[in-house]
Structure 1
Amino acid sequence: MLTINVVVLLAVVVVLRLRRRTEARSRLDEKLTVVIVLALGVLLAPTPIGQAIVQFLSQLVHGVARSGL
């Protein structure tokens, strides 16, 4: 039985959409890309990979904030 992970599928769609030239995009196309990226974020957030990304980004932000003081 073949199963498709929705997160992986959305990630592939996002990469393919972002590879297109900016000049070739309409406003509707850009809005659709934003909606797809938001859906990807919502699906990715509760996963272990999503949590690891959040932890990495929070450490990066704290490091930058400490170096700025």
Structure 2
Amino acid sequence: MLTINVAVLLAVIIVVRLRRRTEARGRNDEKLTVLIVLVFGVLVAPTAFGQGVLDVVGQLATAITDAGR
């Protein structure tokens, strides 16, 4: 039996959709892409990978804020 992780499947779909030319996308197509990315974020956020990304982004934001002072 083949099991496909939904987050991996959505990541592949996102990459395929974003490779298309911008001029070829309609408004509804862009809305669907945003929706898919949001669902992907919700699926990945509670995982260890998602927490690692959150930590890195938090450290980067802190460094930028500290550099501006």
Q: Decide: shared fold, TM above 0.5.
A: yes
Amino acid across the alignment from 1:4: I
Instruction: Give the match's secondary structure for 1:31.
Output: helix
Q: CA deviation at 1:2?
A: 1.1
Root-mean-square deviation (CA, aligned residues, Å) is 0.4
Structure 1 gap segments, 5+ residues each: none
Aligned pair count reads 69
Q: Return the alpha-carbon distance in structure 1 between the equivalents of residues 2 and 14 of structure 2.
A: 22
Superposition misfits of 4+ residues, deviation over 6 angstroms: none
**1:31: which partner in 2?**
31
Aligned pairs (5 A) from 1:7-46: 7-46=7-46
Q: Return the alpha-carbon distance in structure 2 between the equivalents of residues 22 and 13 of structure 1.
A: 16
**2:47: which partner in 1?**
47
Q: Return the alpha-carbon distance in structure 1 between the equivalents of residues 14 and 38 of structure 2.
A: 10
Structure 2 gap segments, 5+ residues each: none
Percent sequence identity over aligned pairs: 61
List per-residue Cα deviations over 1:1-48 (Å, max 9, x = no partner).
Answer: 210000000000000000000000000000000000000000000000
Q: Return the alpha-carbon distance in structure 2 between the equivalents of residues 6 and 50 of structure 1.
A: 15
